[in-house]
Amino acid sequence: MHHGEKKRAAALAALQCIKPGTVLGVGTGSTVNYLIDELPSIRNQIEAVVASSQATEERLRKHGFEVSSLSETGSVDLYIDGADEANKHFHLIKGGGGALTREKVLASAAREFVCIIDDSKWVGLLGTFPLPVEVVPMARSYVARQFVKNRGQPIFRQDFVTDNGNEVLDIYNLQITNPVEMENRFNQIPGVVTVGIFAHRPADRIFMADDNGVQELTRN
Ligand code: 5RP
């Protein structure tokens, strides 16, 4: 199976998590797009949808969904999203698509967080995928220098503005040996809006597609 087929298989497997009356948070990216395209088939199970990005909101609208804000729904029963990397503790790197801040808000607000990936995303140590960091534009070089002190190599994501009007640095070369501690520490750098380490709020379940099918993994 190539990546696209695996992504689709993982997305379809996660549909079973959507029970009648669900307030659903929807992530961002090519894996989640497969999920969105299947949502019309279970439309009447969904009480409300909240989107993690403008791109997701537009795709949901095209399928005829009315998209609510988090302030309107107050809470989210289930959040489904992809990831750039995942480890056995269900810590993730996210933000390859640049939607990390809203994704982290929805993951944190959700009672359950389900992650859908293909097996290329499963890693022993997080950090091979460059860590996305959303920054306030005026702080960009200051924040970049702080990551250099931590042995990272920050690259400014060119021609990219987040849905919140900010910029993204991609930090190469980090070995994320202690995701919880590093998420905390990097979050403290003034000018950082969000770091793409999702360790405080890890996934609860992961649907991971490989050549043999989809494995459902549950965090202990
Ligand atoms: C977007 C994300 C995505 O979940 C991540 O980039 C995975 O994307 P894809 O499903 O296209 O591989 O964090 O900000």
Any ligand 1 atom below 6 A from CB of 196? no
Whether the predicted pLDDT of 49 surpasses 90: yes
Any ligand 1 atom below 6 A from CB of 27? yes
Query: Quick one: pLDDT at residue 175?
Result: 93
**Across all residues in the chain, what is the average pLDDT?**
98
Region 156-185: mean pLDDT is 98
What is the DSSP-derived secondary structure letter of residue 196? S
Any ligand 1 atom below 6 A from CB of 146? no
**Total structural domains within the chain:** 2
Asked if residue 57 lies in contact with residue 51, where contact means CB atoms within 8 angstroms, the answer is yes
- The answer to the question of residue 204 being in a domain is yes
Region 7-25: mean pLDDT is 98
Query: Quick one: pLDDT at residue 220?
Result: 85
Structural domain of 158: 131-193
Q: DSSP string covering 145-178, please? A: HHHHHTT-EEEE-TT---TTS-EEEEEES--BSS
User: How far does residue 168's CA lie from ligand 1's centre (Å)?
Assistant: 15
Verify that 67 and 143 share a domain, yes or no: no
Verify that 153 and 51 share a domain, yes or no: no
Question: Which residue in this structure is represented by tokens 């930090």?
Answer: 171
Q: How far apart, in whole angstroms, are the C-alpha atoms of residue 128 and residue 185?
A: 19
User: Nearest residue CA, atom 1 of ligand 1?
Assistant: 97
Annotation marks residue 103 as catalytic: yes
Query: Quick one: pLDDT at residue 52?
Result: 98
| pLDDT band (50, 70, 90) for residue 13 | very high
Region 80-107: mean pLDDT is 98
To test the pocket of ligand 1, the residue of 28, 193, 206 to mutate (highest count of ligand atoms within 8 Å of its CB) is 28
Whether the predicted pLDDT of 1 surpasses 90: no
Buried b (16+ CB within 10 A) or exposed e, 142-180: ebbebbeeeebebeebeeeebbeebbbbbbeebebeebe
Q: How far apart, in whole angstroms, are the C-alpha atoms of residue 158 and residue 150?
A: 22
CATH number of the domain at 139, please.
3.30.70.260
Query: Which residues, other chains included, contact 40 with Cβ-Cβ below 8 Å and sequence gap of 6+?
Result: 63, 64
Asked if residue 135 lies in contact with residue 196, where contact means CB atoms within 8 angstroms, the answer is no
Any ligand 1 atom below 6 A from CB of 215? no
Q: How far apart, in whole angstroms, are the C-alpha atoms of residue 211 and residue 47?
A: 34
Query: Quick one: pLDDT at residue 214?
Result: 98
Region 188-202: mean pLDDT is 98
Region 94-114: mean pLDDT is 98
Whether the predicted pLDDT of 130 surpasses 90: yes
Atom of ligand 1 at shortest range from CA of 117? 10
Query: Quick one: pLDDT at residue 2?
Result: 87
- The answer to the question of residue 83 being in a domain is yes
Query: Could you read off the pLDDT of 147-169 as tens digits, one per residue?
Result: 999 999 999 999 999 999 999 99
Verify that 89 and 153 share a domain, yes or no: no
C-alpha distances (whole Å) from 111 to each of 95, 191, 206 are 21, 29, 15
Catalytic residue, chosen from 57, 103, 167, 183, is 103
Which has the closest alpha carbon to 114: 48, 211, 36, 25?
A: 25
Whether the predicted pLDDT of 95 surpasses 90: yes
To test the pocket of ligand 1, the residue of 84, 118, 126, 131 to mutate (highest count of ligand atoms within 8 Å of its CB) is 84
Whether the predicted pLDDT of 89 surpasses 90: yes
Whether the predicted pLDDT of 56 surpasses 90: yes
